[in-house]
């Protein structure tokens, strides 16, 4: 169980949205449980955000709010589950914004983010951190870049799904640093982090929320945060801009 407070989530940078069917929004929830879809597996940043929101929403409306994880297909499985549900406001979705804004441009998702989904509100922002396997001999990003350049095509980076910010950030690192890291997508952050911690994959851009416990435990190396300013979690990790 993650113990992440709402104030901490709001200080970071990856935007999360609550979304619903394009249909007349219910004026008030009924006495039935509310279903909260999440297009990611349990344990990832999206899931953590959704469960915090579900707990608070349940307390506010006096009804159970059930988190239903539907990962896969660039969010299309969760969106399909939402559009197949009755348009009565009892089924909503919590998602990272790029599920609706970026992924439909690079993957066949089977849904129209403009016609099929209505964003309801911004919930939180979460930052990303570049983490590496503790078995890497590189002590910092400069050392890793030098090693990767000397071993082109032999190293890889993970993402928590193709088309996500995690994927894009890794490709940008490849381009800006002149590397040849191979992309390995996973169905969510937790299984990707297992491979990075185990040394099977060198690097990953992950949400600060999900990587922080592993960084503190010494199971991941933190090379840099992907933001303009340092994060308070942890403050000693430099930004990628500082690292050039």
User: What confidence tens digit (pLDDT) does each residue in 100-114 have?
Assistant: 776 776 667 777 777
Q: Which residues are registered as beta bridge partners of 204? A: 131, 158
Of 74-83, 151-160, 222-231, which gets the smallest average pLDDT?
Answer: 222-231
110-169 residue pLDDT tens: 777 778 888 888 877 778 899 999 999 888 889 999 999 999 989 999 998 877 788 888
Same domain for 137 and 120? Answer: no
Same domain for 10 and 121? Answer: yes
- Is the model's pLDDT at 78 over the cut of 50? yes
184 φψ region: left (φ > 0), alpha (ψ -120 to 50), beta (else) = beta
230 belongs to a structural domain: no
How many whole angstroms from its chain centre is CA 232?
Answer: 19
Q: How many CB atoms lie within 10 A of CB 59?
A: 10
Residue 108: the pLDDT is: 72
Residue 16: the pLDDT is: 52
- What CATH number is given to the structural domain containing 146? 3.40.190.10
For residues 39 and 29, which has the higher predicted lDDT (pLDDT)? 39
Residue 229: the pLDDT is: 61
- Is the model's pLDDT at 222 over the cut of 50? yes
192 belongs to a structural domain: yes
Distance from the first to the final alpha carbon of the chain: 36
- Domain range holding 158? 128-225
- Is the model's pLDDT at 237 over the cut of 50? yes
Same domain for 106 and 159? Answer: no
Distance between CA atoms of 158 and 201, rounded to whole angstroms?
Answer: 7
Count: domains in the chain = 2
Is pTM beyond 0.85? Reply is no
Same domain for 132 and 203? Answer: yes
Same domain for 23 and 117? Answer: yes
Q: Which of 126, 124, 79, 70 is nearest to 100 (CA)?
A: 79
Q: Which residues contact 17 (CB under 8 A, 6 or more apart)?
A: 94, 95, 96, 97, 100, 119, 120, 121, 122, 123
38 belongs to a structural domain: yes
């Amino acid at each position: 169980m993650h113990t992440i407070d709402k104030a901490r989530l709001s200080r970071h940078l990856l935007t999360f949205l609550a979304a619903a069917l394009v249909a007349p929004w219910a004026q008030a929830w009924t006495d039935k449980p509310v279903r909260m879809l999440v297009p990611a597996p349990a344990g990832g940043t999206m899931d953590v955000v959704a469960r915090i929101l579900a707990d608070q929403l349940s307390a506010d409306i006096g009804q159970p709010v059930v988190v239903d994880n539907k990962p896969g297909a660039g969010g299309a499985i969760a969106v399909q589950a939402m559009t197949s549900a009755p348009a009565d406001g009892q089924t909503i979705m919590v998602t990272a914004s790029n599920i609706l804004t970026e992924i439909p441009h690079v993957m066949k998702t089977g849904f129209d983010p403009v016609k099929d989904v209505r964003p309801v509100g911004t919930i939180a922002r979460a930052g990303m951190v570049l983490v590496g396997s503790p078995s890497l001999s590189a002590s910092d990003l400069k050392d890793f870049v030098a090693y990767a350049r000397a071993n082109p095509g032999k190293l890889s980076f993970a993402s928590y799904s193709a088309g996500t910010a995690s994927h894009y950030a890794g490709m940008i690192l490849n381009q800006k640093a002149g590397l040849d890291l191979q992309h390995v997508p996973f169905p969510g952050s937790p299984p990707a982090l297992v491979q990075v911690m185990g040394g099977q994959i060198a690097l990953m851009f992950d949400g600060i929320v999900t990587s922080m416990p592993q960084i503190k435990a010494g199971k991941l190396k933190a090379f840099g945060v992907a933001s303009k300013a340092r994060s308070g979690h942890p403050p000693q990790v430099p930004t990628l801009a500082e690292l050039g």
